[in-house]
């Protein structure tokens, strides 16, 4: 959740104060922590691309629910669910990148991923602020969640190989390349 949206929602929509704002900021991290503590099942996910698309869409859906929340507790639950979905997506994406990136390229790929992770929220804050000032905070939040779901669907349609990605097949191919002495 962007700082702008958090402040606007805490102060204007939910009638809150600084303590409420702190809870809103903490909720996604609490959800991510719970997802991390319960993440053992992720190593059994074979279709990780499908998992990424589903968890990204779940994040968007949670943001939509958050956008419609009229009181603190539903807002906190929605944000915690968003944080959990984001963590699942991040774990699956990281494993996929490790599986398919040659060793010689891992540093560069990690740098690109870090750049995206660091810059995307700031760009989202700009978009959210412009849209909220032109429409409303609720519209900005809800449309952002819906755009995330739509974006996931578009990516799934444009990159069908992502949906076909199978972790066990990728690892087997990597082991075969390593056994053949080919660069990994």
Domains in the chain (CATH in brackets) are 3-180 (1.20.1250)
How large is the C-alpha radius of gyration of the chain?
19
Residue 23, both tokens: 């809870």
∠ Cα 33 67 2 (to 5°): 60
Cα 6 to Cα 29: distance, rounded to the nearest angstrom: 14
Give the closest residue to 144 by CA, choosing from 51, 62, 32: 62
Cα dihedral angle (97, 87, 5, 152), rounded to 10 degrees? 50
pLDDT by 10s per residue, the chain, length 184: 555 566 666 666 677 777 888 888 899 999 999 999 998 888 888 899 999 999 999 999 999 999 999 888 999 999 999 999 999 999 999 888 888 888 888 889 889 988 888 888 778 778 888 888 899 888 988 999 999 999 999 999 999 999 998 888 877 877 787 788 766 5
Q: What is the pLDDT of residue 128?
A: 81
Q: What is the pLDDT of residue 25?
A: 86
Q: What is the pLDDT of residue 45?
A: 87
Cα 43 to Cα 96: distance, rounded to the nearest angstrom: 11
Q: What is the pTM of this model?
A: 0.85
Q: What is the pLDDT of residue 158?
A: 96
Q: What is the pLDDT of residue 38?
A: 93
């Amino acid at each position: 959740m962007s700082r702008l949206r958090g402040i606007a929602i805490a102060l204007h929509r939910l009638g809150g104060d600084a303590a409420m704002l702190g809870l809103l900021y903490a909720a996604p991290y609490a959800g991510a922590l719970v997802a991390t503590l319960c993440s053992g099942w992720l190593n059994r996910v074979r279709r990780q691309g499908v998992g990424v698309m589903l968890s990204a869409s779940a994040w968007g859906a949670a943001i939509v629910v958050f956008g419609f929340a009229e009181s603190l507790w539903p807002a906190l639950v929605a944000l915690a669910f968003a944080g959990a979905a984001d963590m699942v997506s991040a774990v699956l994406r990281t494993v996929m990148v490790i599986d398919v990136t040659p060793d010689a390229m891992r540093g560069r790929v990690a740098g690109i991923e870090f750049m995206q992770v660091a810059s995307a929220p700031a760009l989202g804050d700009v978009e959210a602020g412009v849209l909220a000032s032109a429409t409303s905070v609720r519209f900005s939040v809800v449309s952002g969640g819906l755009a995330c779901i739509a974006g996931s669907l578009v990516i799934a349609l444009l990159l069908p190989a992502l949906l076909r990605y199978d972790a066990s097949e990728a690892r087997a191919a990597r082991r075969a390349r390593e056994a053949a002495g080919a660069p990994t």
